[in-house]
């Protein structure tokens, strides 16, 4: 729901033959602007899914009238990437024969085009209309992310690209790509090709090549979506070890290596050399100013068993507090990222271990029930760090019935803290972990459940406080998604005018 919106019952016909998107004369961006040129074409097809040229249906009672969508942006930059500072606000005014869309940047114009496309409807005779409408809109949170996990199951490219399409329909603006983890390493590195050739499920068919990654970033950019990759360490790295000898800690059984491996070995300088090389590559491949470093769920058992790690602990004066070793490691890699001029995101564990990390680091909360994450929101913001909330939006977790209601009723700023602290909540993320999810069930599990979180992250909380009022709107939106080819599952008994038939 937009921040401000008023509509009247006056409606204006739109004839597919005569709908035109155009740049306003005083727009800083003009024809040739890659982002908007592509968006005009895309939204034409989204508004008229059946249009195939030719004459089509027209209102036979009157001369067909042209309808113009005029777009004006103040900042004419069209070739950059959306980033944390991007302005997504827009104004949209729909009146007889025209819609006027004004935005600071092309990213705001994209959000306005999405809203316009949702305003157009068909009557029972399949004629298109739009009602007189005024919208003033901007996002509540700057960071509205969605995480896909391509390590526990490989997601083929079409699944990722289609998810980006659907993200734009719900105004998500960050694709958090949890690209590698214990089970597999599908990222094909330029500098360390063994990582995927030995660590992927299959070295040829289950990898993301450099071209694949570029294609994802390109596809996302045109939709105003940032791509933030996560290279989670020191835990969750079993697959890294296959292609990078000596990276992982060798676990011991008594006095001999057991043959199994634990987290990244934080005691060796070769570890940091490798990570410096990898992150240098990664930050050159991914243009976003953020890099997710993980840092969650480190099991100390293996570190404890290893005599070299024990010796290092003694040398460093860490005693037997392995959280200090974890801190040592994370501080080192956060510094590598900082030296590459990137902002680090890390999971909350890194804060919980009281690590010394730069103040611009973003902490992401993933644990616990509401009482837990509210307390953590208070603690992290009190320490002055920015924070992302994902704990209530682990959308891979399913239960029978309307569990979208839980995602909808989250209150990300409802915790004890000052106004200043509340502002440090920069957004949230829907996480689709991959233990039980691959391309077969990704889309119906994501949509429209993720759209419930999307409204929480974009819209005014007071205006969207009723989950029952949201229900029919979300039902309609789910039919819109179906109409756009997104396999979005039903909320309850009922039907869409056009059912999903893409079997």
**Per-residue binding letters, 341-360, with a second copy (x by CB under 8 A):** --------------------
Longest dimension (CA), the chain: 90
Q: Can residue 152 be called a binding residue for a second copy (CB under 8 A)?
A: yes
Q: What is the Rg, in whole angstroms, of the alpha carbon atoms belonging to the chain? A: 25
Residue 208: strand, helix, or coil: strand
Residues 436 and 396: beta-carbon distance below 8 Å:
yes
Choosing from 269, 369, 399, 419, the residue that interacts with a second copy (CB under 8 A) is 399
Choosing from 315, 400, 419, 462, the residue that interacts with a second copy (CB under 8 A) is 400
Q: Residues 6 or more apart from 2 whose CB is under 8 A from it?
A: 115, 135, 136, 137, 459
- Cβ 208 to a second copy shortest distance, Å: 13
- Cβ 401 to a second copy shortest distance, Å: 7
* Residue of 384, 369, 456, 458 whose CA lies nearest to 418: 384
Nearer to a second copy, 250 or 480 (CB): 480
Give the Cα separation of 189 and 175 in Å (integer): 20
Q: Which stretch binds a second copy (CB under 8 A): 248-256, 265-273, 291-299, 429-437?
A: 429-437
- Cβ 503 to a second copy shortest distance, Å: 4
Q: Is 297 one of the catalytic residues?
A: yes
Interaction residues for a second copy, span 436-455 (CB under 8 A): 436-441, 443-445
Q: Can residue 501 be called a binding residue for a second copy (CB under 8 A)?
A: yes
**Per-residue binding letters, 470-489, with a second copy (x by CB under 8 A):** ------------x----xxx
| Active-site option among 134, 297, 461, 462 | 297
Residue 292: strand, helix, or coil: strand
Q: What angle do CA 271, 274, 280 make, to 5 degrees?
A: 135
Q: How far apart are the first and last CA of the chain?
A: 31
H/E segment holding residue 352:
helix 349-352
* Residue of 230, 197, 245 whose CA lies nearest to 433: 230
Choosing from 159, 375, 383, 426, the residue that interacts with a second copy (CB under 8 A) is 159
**Per-residue binding letters, 81-110, with a second copy (x by CB under 8 A):** ------------------------------
Give the Cα separation of 335 and 329 in Å (integer): 10
Q: Can residue 493 be called a binding residue for a second copy (CB under 8 A)?
A: yes
Q: Can residue 495 be called a binding residue for a second copy (CB under 8 A)?
A: yes
Write out the residues near a second copy by the rule CB under 8 A. Answer: 152-154, 156, 158-159, 162, 183-184, 201-202, 205-206, 396-402, 434-441, 443-445, 482, 487-495, 497, 499-501, 503
């Amino acid at each position: 729901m937009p921040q401000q919106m008023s509509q009247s019952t006056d409606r204006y016909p739109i004839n597919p033959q005569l709908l035109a998107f155009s740049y306003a004369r005083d727009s800083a961006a003009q024809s040739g602007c890659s982002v908007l040129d592509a968006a005009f074409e895309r939204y034409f097809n989204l508004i008229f899914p059946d249009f195939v040229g030719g004459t089509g249906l027209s209102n036979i009672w009157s001369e067909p009238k042209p309808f113009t969508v005029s777009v004006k942006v103040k900042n004419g930059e069209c070739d950059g990437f959306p980033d944390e500072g991007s302005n997504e606000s827009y104004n949209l005014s729909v009146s007889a024969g025209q819609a006027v869309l004004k935005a600071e940047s092309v990213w705001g114009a994209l959000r306005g085009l999405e809203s316009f496309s949702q305003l157009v409807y068909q009557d029972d005779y399949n004629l298109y209309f739009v009602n007189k409408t005024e919208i003033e809109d901007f996002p509540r949170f700057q960071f509205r992310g969605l995480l896909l996990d391509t390590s526990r199951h490989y997601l083929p490219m079409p699944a990722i690209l289609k998810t980006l399409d659907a993200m734009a329909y719900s105004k998500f603006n960050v694709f958090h790509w949890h690209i590698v983890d214990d089970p597999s390493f599908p990222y094909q590195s330029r500098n360390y090709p063994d990582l995927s050739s030995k660590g992927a499920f299959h070295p040829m068919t289950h990898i993301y090549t450099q071209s694949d990654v570029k294609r994802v970033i390109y596809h996302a950019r045109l939709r105003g979506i940032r791509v933030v990759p996560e290279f989670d360490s020191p835990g969750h790295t079993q697959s890294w070890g296959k292609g990078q000898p000596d990276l992982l800690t060798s676990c011991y059984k008594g006095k001999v290596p057991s043959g199994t491996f634990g987290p990244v070995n934080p005691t060796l300088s070769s570890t940091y050399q490798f990570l410096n090389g990898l992150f240098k590559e990664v930050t050159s491949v991914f243009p976003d100013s953020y890099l997710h470093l993980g840092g969650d769920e480190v099991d100390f058992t293996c570190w404890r068993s290893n005599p070299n790690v024990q010796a290092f602990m003694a040398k460093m004066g860490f005693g037997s507090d392995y959280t200090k070793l974890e801190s040592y490691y994370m501080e080192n890699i956060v510094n590598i990222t900082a030296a590459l001029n990137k902002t680090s995101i890390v999971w909350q564990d890194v804060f919980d271990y009281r690590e010394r990390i730069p103040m611009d680091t973003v902490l992401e909360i993933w644990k616990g029930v509401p009482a837990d994450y509210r307390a953590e929101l208070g603690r992290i913001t009190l320490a002055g760090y920015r924070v992302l909330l994902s704990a209530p939006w682990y959308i891979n977790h399913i239960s029978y019935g309307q569990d979208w209601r839980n995602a909808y009723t989250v209150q990300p700023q409802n915790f004890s803290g000052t106004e200043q602290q509340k502002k440090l909540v920069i957004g949230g993320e829907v996480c689709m972990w991959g233990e039980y999810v691959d391309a077969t069930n990704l889309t119906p599990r994501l949509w429209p459940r993720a759209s419930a979180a999307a409204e929480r992250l974009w819209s005014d909380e007071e205006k969207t406080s009723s989950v029952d009022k949201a229900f029919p709107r979300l039902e309609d939106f789910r039919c819109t998604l179906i109409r756009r080819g997104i396999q979005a599952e039903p909320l309850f008994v009922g039907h869409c005018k056009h059912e999903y038939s893409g079997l």
